[in-house]
Amino acid sequence: MLLQLRSDYQYFVRTVDIQTQLQRGSTHAVNTAVRLLKIPRALVSSHRVLGFLYLFACGGISQIGRPIIPVVLESLRLHFQVMQYRGVFTGFLESRNGCNRFSLMAARMQLQKSQKRESANIMTSTAALTFDTHRVVKRLQEEGFPPSQAEGILEVIKDSMSDSLEMQARILATKAEHVQLRAELSERVFNSTLKFDIAQRHMRELLERDFNNLKQDIRMLEKMDFDKIRMEVAELEKKFLLQKQAEDETLNELRLSMEKVEKRMLQYAVGFAGTIMAVGAALMRLVL
């Protein structure tokens, strides 16, 4: 469908009574959309051409002989691939009964977003969308439409596509914005990586300092424990030496006392033996 045949536009599009038909059709489309589909008037009024096409596809306008659902759906799919309304006309593209599943809340949200973007004065670019207009007119004529109505529908499709491109320029981001966003994301990633590296180094320094302090504390505790053990061992050695000295003194005293006892016993034994000898000598003298 995307062919570079925009030069055929002037040849196939006629200006006789097309503007009048479009104005009447768009007004009727707005009233029908508000009455039947419960679509907000602000949304349909801001996109009259789109509302006209949607009512064509749903069979809401009975002035034209038979519905043109296949043709309009194909055109809608074409410009929706470029425009990509999210949440507004998604249910419509899924089936013919999409008008019943039209999301009013999503439409209001989309309208609020578009109004916010318009109030922000975002720079937009309206690039032209080229397609085979002759093929569209020919297919409409094959469906049973007169040439004037087919060309009018073609004009409606072209206007809807231009509106969709303008809306796309307001909603979607440009290449410059993507580049800027990519640069910002790269900068944020770089900054986050740099912050992470700095934090990691800082944490490593803190851990090393804590480990060093812990080692010093452990060494000090070990030294204190060793000093206490040495003091206790020294005290035990002193006590042992004192006890040994006391035992030696006791042994010396016992030896001295034993020697004294032995001397006394010898003296007693010598005295007793001398006494017996003297008594025996006296008895022998008496007997003799």
The parent domain of residue 46 ranges over 6-172
CB 157 within 8 A of CB 31: no
What is the SS3 string spanning the chain?
A: CCCCCHHHHHHHCCCCCHHHHHHHHHHHHHHHHHHHCCCCHHHHHHCHHHHHHHHHHHCCCCCCCCCCHHHHHHHHHHHHHHHCCCCCCHHHHHCHHHHCCCCHHHHHHHHHHHHHHHHCCCCCCCCCCCCCHHHHHHHHHHCCCCHHHHHHHHHHHHHHHHHHHHHHHHHCCCHHHHHHHHHHHHHHHHHHHHHHHHHHHHHHHHHHHHHHHHHHHHHHHHHHHHHHHHHHHHHHHHHHHHHHHHHHHHHHHHHHHHHHHHHHHHHHHHHHHHHHHHHHHHHHHHHC
- Residue 275 is assigned to a structural domain of this protein: no
pLDDT at position 242 is: 93
pLDDT tens sequence across 152-189: 887 888 888 788 778 777 777 777 888 888 888 888 88
- Residue 157 is assigned to a structural domain of this protein: yes
Does residue 151 surpass a pLDDT of 60? yes
Place 62 in a pLDDT band, splitting at 50, 70 and 90. Answer: very low
- Residue 263 is assigned to a structural domain of this protein: no
pLDDT at position 114 is: 53
- Residue 24 is assigned to a structural domain of this protein: yes
Name the token pair of 186: 């790269």
pLDDT tens sequence across 243-283: 999 999 999 999 999 999 999 999 888 888 888 888 888 88
Number of domains in the chain: 1
Does residue 4 surpass a pLDDT of 90? no
- Residue 240 is assigned to a structural domain of this protein: no
How many CB atoms sit inside 10 A of residue 44's CB? 23
CB 53 within 8 A of CB 157: yes
Does residue 85 surpass a pLDDT of 90? no
Place 31 in a pLDDT band, splitting at 50, 70 and 90. Answer: low
Does residue 52 surpass a pLDDT of 50? no
pLDDT at position 48 is: 43
pLDDT tens sequence across 93-148: 344 344 433 344 444 455 455 545 544 444 444 445 566 777 877 888 888 888 88
- Residue 199 is assigned to a structural domain of this protein: no
- Residue 14 is assigned to a structural domain of this protein: yes
Place 68 in a pLDDT band, splitting at 50, 70 and 90. Answer: very low
- Residue 257 is assigned to a structural domain of this protein: no
pLDDT tens sequence across 212-231: 999 999 999 999 999 999 99
